[in-house]
Structure 1
């Protein structure tokens, strides 16, 4: 009888020790997860779009030939068309009167010509610059201006600069630790053809911003604009409706009845 009692006590101790060890390991794992936070949670807001499954459009003027300019105006436009605005970002640099500074193609029509000047002033002319385009079959690409081939297959396109990532490598013009800080937004193409849009939540240099796209396996990425950049993304509780732009890139979908 004493032997049975001893065995039961021994088994109970083993069980208690095992449970304690498992609990301690669980706490350790949880603590590790709490420590490791994705960079975009604090410095970058990003959004991935599959252009073949989601509806991505470029906007500049409405059907009355009036400038749209703001996300708020675009939101009204699409809602009047029984659609819902899911995501919006300014789509490149613009001139004084909100016209595209460079190449702009909308629904297959070239509304602003390709700018091939290489020795200009400002970020746009920091070489190489490039073009973000989408074909009528929703195939996306980002290429340097020099390699861009304007064809009838390009349904949407916007030119900007500089290129952030070229063939999987950072633009060699960028310097690590640069003090050239600003709010920045851009777009990259992922290996599966999806698009990665990103905007810094605080000022960042080109090197660190480009590194975000490279670390997410983008073979190519393009800078869109700087301090004026805004993003509308309610799904991530980020709704910047203020600001005026030229081109706007947006995802829409039909309203649910």
Structure 2
């Protein structure tokens, strides 16, 4: 067990310090495999994109790639970024280039999004964060990009109180957390896992004190580092990391 934990700690350490060109790697946690991709918001461009106003088609990684090309940028990494209504409108907050396109959702309801506490992933100037929804509403941080989802996986170092260690609800899941050094860690499971195990990945293997669930039915990834391109995914929101094309 000690050797297993040491291996996870070394993997998390390499994620926290690795360059952008080697941002993704695979680790094992509680007998399951996960792809983890980490990026430094102080050095790398992390954005959130929603379906354009008036559009009826979902987002794809190719669509985001085309958006970036207009500004001579390319897609380094992509992950589905939250839940949406029919028509691909986000269920909760969406902030894009500093403009609030959809408001913060503090209502009660059914489904994972409303399994309180839920939360917000956001990117500001040179920093990123994951914050529980009510705390976000109170703090009102200045953000350039944000997406709301739920439930929170880890809040102040504690696992969501509704998660059951022996739950039989198994899905491929993806989420986002903040590493101890401020890097953003995106994770997706290779196979179906329960909420509790996924949350302990962020808390115990990666050392995140805050982490947010993104989805468990359309979990997808664009990560050339690990030869992953879920090009058939249809999404309402995409979290993307962009790089600049040479002139």
**TM-score category by the smaller chain?**
0.7 to 0.9
Q: Tell me the SS of whatever aligns to 2:47.
A: strand
The offset of 1:65, in angstroms, is: 5.6
The offset of 1:81, in angstroms, is: 3.2
1:214 and 2:187 are equivalent in the alignment: no
Q: Are the counterparts in 2 of residues 68 and 74 from structure 1 also a CA contact under 8 Å?
A: no
Query: In the alignment, which residue of structure 2 is the partner of 1:46?
Result: 36
Q: Deviations over 1:202-228 (max 9, x none)?
A: 111100111110121001000011111
| Equivalent runs, 1:1-257 vs 2, <5 Å | 38-39=27-28, 43-62=33-52, 66=55, 69-118=59-108, 120-135=109-124, 137-149=125-137, 151=140, 153-215=142-204, 216-256=206-246
Larger radius of gyration: 1
- For the residues of structure 1 that align with 2:44 and 2:62, how far apart are their CA atoms? 21
- For the residues of structure 2 that align with 1:42 and 1:234, how far apart are their CA atoms? 22
Q: Deviations over 1:51-108 (max 9, x none)?
A: 110111111145x864561112112332343221110001100110001111111111
5+ residue gaps, structure 2: 1-6, 12-25
Q: Are the counterparts in 2 of residues 58 and 249 from structure 1 also a CA contact under 8 Å?
A: yes
TM-score of the superposition, structure 2-length normalised? 0.83
Q: Tell me the SS of whatever aligns to 1:176.
A: coil
Give the structure with the larger helix fraction: 1
- For the residues of structure 2 that align with 1:51 and 1:85, how far apart are their CA atoms? 15
Give the structure with the larger strand fraction: 2
**CA RMSD of the aligned region, Å?**
2.2
Q: How many residues align?
A: 220
Q: Tell me the SS of whatever aligns to 1:87.
A: strand
**More displaced stretch, 77-86 vs 242-251:** 77-86
Q: Deviations over 1:2-23 (max 9, x none)?
A: xxxxxxxxxxxxxxxxxxxxxx
